[in-house]
Structure 1
Amino acid sequence: MTQAPFAVEVKILDPRIRDWGMPSYQTSGSAAIDLFACIDAPMEIVAQDAAVLIPSGLAFYMGDTACAALVMPRSGLGHKKGLVMGNTVGLIDADYTGQVFISAWNRNPVGAEPIRIEPGERIAQLMFVPVLRAALSEVEAFSDVTERGAGGFGSTGTGGAA
């Protein structure tokens, strides 16, 4: 099922993006757009050092508090090179209209080669997602009982199908 695109305004803060190409969905089934490293010179991220903030050169106005955006690593960079998000996933709230920054971290072991980032390299991805805002209601007991109840970590086991 295809749905109409959700209109989001984008402000280009780094003019090089016009040369690199406006971030877009790379295939018809892509869930996110790629974000560029808007840096002035190549940089190296040392294994296990503190995460660094890399500007994306973009700001967004979603115009609807029922929307948010998630900044996530690109799968290949995380798996093959060890470049992941320093905050696991970055949350961009609908009312934030400043530049989006990418928190990048080299998860490789100490002593591994640094990860080199080039200006204009696609290093993260941005996914727009719906947001449900809950109206919390304090209760003494829940209105229904579930099969799982309070069973948490590992409560459903680890075995496969019998």
Structure 2
Amino acid sequence: MPDIRILVMRDEGADPALPLPDYQTAGAAGADLRADLAGRDLTLEPGDVKLVPTGLRVEIPHGFEMQVRPRSGLALKYGVTVANAPGTVDSDYRGPLGVILVNLGREPFVIAHGERIAQAVIAPVVQARYVMAETLSESDRASGGFGSTGRS
């Protein structure tokens, strides 16, 4: 397995006691991101969309991205998910790392300071070159989309 290092800094005023993103199991694809709420809680009312700070800034190696994905337990149990899933953090971004959460559930959801709110997956990126064409090659699917292949 390659040794990919993500450099991390804390924002000014961030809680130094919070762990850096970490993997909960040896086979985990995502490292958990935690809410840094300056010791307070944050309530997401049903339908709310809020940017939740992590207190971190990251440097991702060129050729990679950080995908910010929902935690399945929060989504299933409470309807709380990442609004722009997966969110992308580009390798040249150095600003504060925040997670855009939405409460799709029916009840308010309280996010505690330090709670695991999302997961970060590091993935390779390929930049393609887009070229204007007169025609596109034929395929069996053609222009069928949005459920055109059926449900089962």
Whether 2:104 is the aligned partner of 1:115: answer no
Residues 37 and 54, structure 1, Cα contact 8 Å, conserved in 2: yes
Greater C-alpha radius of gyration: 1
Residues 14 and 36, structure 2, Cα contact 8 Å, conserved in 1: no
One-letter code aligned to 2:111: I
Could you give the per-residue CA deviations for residues 33-79 of structure 1, whole angstroms, max 9, x where no partner exists? Answer: 10111002112111113x11111111111130x21111111110111
TM-score (norm 2): 0.90
Whether 2:69 is the aligned partner of 1:76: answer no
Residues 52 and 86, structure 1, Cα contact 8 Å, conserved in 2: no
* Structure 1 residues 72-151: aligned runs within 5 Å: 72-109=69-106, 112=107, 114-142=108-136, 144-151=137-144
Could you give the per-residue CA deviations for residues 90-114 of structure 1, whole angstroms, max 9, x where no partner exists? Answer: 21111101111011111113xx3x1
Identity score, percent:
33
One-letter code aligned to 1:124: A
Residues 47 and 102, structure 2, Cα contact 8 Å, conserved in 1: yes
Deviation, 1:12, is 2.3
Residues 55 and 99, structure 1, Cα contact 8 Å, conserved in 2: yes
Deviation, 1:20, is 3.0
**Where do 4+ consecutive residues of structure 1 move more than 2 Å?**
12-17, 19-22, 86-89
Q: Distance in 2 between matches of 1:31 and 1:61?
A: 19
SS in 2 for 1:10: strand
SS in 1 for 2:73: helix
Aligned counterpart, 1:46: 45
SS in 2 for 1:20: coil
Residues 37 and 119, structure 1, Cα contact 8 Å, conserved in 2: yes
TM-score (norm 1): 0.85
One-letter code aligned to 1:8: I
Whether 2:148 is the aligned partner of 1:155: answer yes
Aligned length: 150
Structure 2 residue runs of 5 or longer lacking an equivalent are none
